[in-house]
Amino acid sequence: MTPLLEVRGIGKRFGSVVALADVSTRVSAGTVTCVLGDNGAGKSTLIKILSGAHRHDGGEYLIDGSPVRLGSPREALDLGIATVYQDLAMVPLMPVWRNFFLGSEPRKGWGPLRRLDIARAKEITRRELLDMGIDIRDPEQPVGTLSGGERQSVAIARAVHFGARVLILDEPTSALGVKQAGVVLRYIVRARQRGLGVIFITHNPHHAYPVGDRFLLLKRGRGLGEYGRDDIGVAELTRLMAGGAELEQLGHELAGYGDAAERLEEEVTALAAPVESEDEQP
């Protein structure tokens, strides 16, 4: 089956700086592809290429098997590629239903009498959120009163409603607690069940592994490898992402520091011990 989205050896340079080089992955309908990497790994550059904010200058970018060179996020949206960034592009003081539409509200009437169809907007908002498993208490409540996980769910449901086929999520769980992160992971699974292709960007393998079907690891702008769920476990995923050799070297260094600190403590204890004067000696 032809993937919804695929990149082959994709690359991006900014002058003499190589931000991304020779990265490949694919996203099929009803699957979650997790992109993992530490800060500076190239995740942000990859997101911007996939979402149309940057044009790639190496490799191929294919949508439904056809090469594309996106010139703007609008072009990506027209092809069904929606990106939910960490800031969510929401206005905290505006109601949930206004944030759901943000300029694309349904209208009724004709000509100069054309106006917002608020009742229909609220109905659509409530229905779409319910389809994602979210029961909003009141569409009129300010979106800023929702929890972090609920705000993420509104952004995801909004993207699905406006025709997303590929949903790119930029570290949606990074600023959330354990419970709210679990809420967002459930919504990712629901999006997959609805047939979307999901790209889940994260630096936390323990969030990625429960929902991921494929795992792409990045380090310093290059791919460390792509693995299917059956090919790798969470422990190995964590080791590769963190850098197994670096961790082993760090462990040796810390052990050396521990030995040195123990010797220093013994010397300080010895120096601090009371010294018997000659008068006190028998």
- Give the torsion sign (CA, 94, 95, 100, 105): negative
Per DSSP, what are the bridge partners of residue 27? 5
Q: CA separation (Å) from 256 to 245, 264, 267?
A: 17, 12, 17
Note the pLDDT of residue 54.
93
Q: Which residues contact 231 (CB under 8 A, 6 or more apart)?
A: none
Question: Quick check: 110 pLDDT over 70?
Answer: yes
| The pLDDT of residue 49 is above 80 | yes
Distances (CA, A) of 99 to 94, 142, 151, 274: 7, 9, 10, 72
Q: Locate tokens 């609920």: which residue?
A: 150
Which ranges of the chain would DSSP assign to H, the alpha helix?
43-50, 73-78, 96-101, 118-131, 148-161, 178-193, 205-208, 234-242, 244-272
pLDDT digits (tens, 9 = 90+) for 192-230: 998 999 999 998 888 999 999 999 999 888 988 899 999
116-143 pLDDT, tens digit per residue, is 888 999 999 998 888 877 777 788 999 8
Distance CA 202, CA 227 (A): 16
Burial 209-234 (b: 16+ CB within 10 A, else e): bebbbbbbbbbebbbbebbebeebee
Beta bridge partners of 228: 214
The pLDDT of residue 199 is 95
Q: Which listed CATH number (3.30.559.10, 3.40.50.300, 3.90.78.10, 3.40.50.10490) goes with 5-104+142-231? A: 3.40.50.300
Residues facing 8 on adjacent strands: 60
Task: Find out whether 222 and 210 touch, Cβ atoms under 8 Å.
Answer: no
Tokens of 194: 């609805």
Radius of gyration of the chain from Cα atoms? Answer: 26
State the pLDDT confidence band at 168, using cuts at 50, 70 and 90: very high
Helix (H, G, I), strand (E, B) or coil at 84: strand
Give the Cα separation of 159 and 147 in Å (integer): 19
Mean pLDDT of the chain: 84
Report the pLDDT value the prediction gives residue 96, as an integer from 0 to 100.
92
Label residue 180 by pLDDT band (50, 70, 90). Answer: confident
pLDDT of residue 282: 52
235 residue type, one letter? A
Q: Which amino acid is at 59?
A: G
Question: b/e per residue, 157-171, with b = 16+ CB within 10 A?
Answer: bbbbbeebbbbbbbb
Calpha distance 14→17 (Å, rounded): 5
Q: Which of 13, 3, 50 is nearest to 213 (CA)?
A: 3
Structure tokens at 35: 């992109």
SS3 223: strand
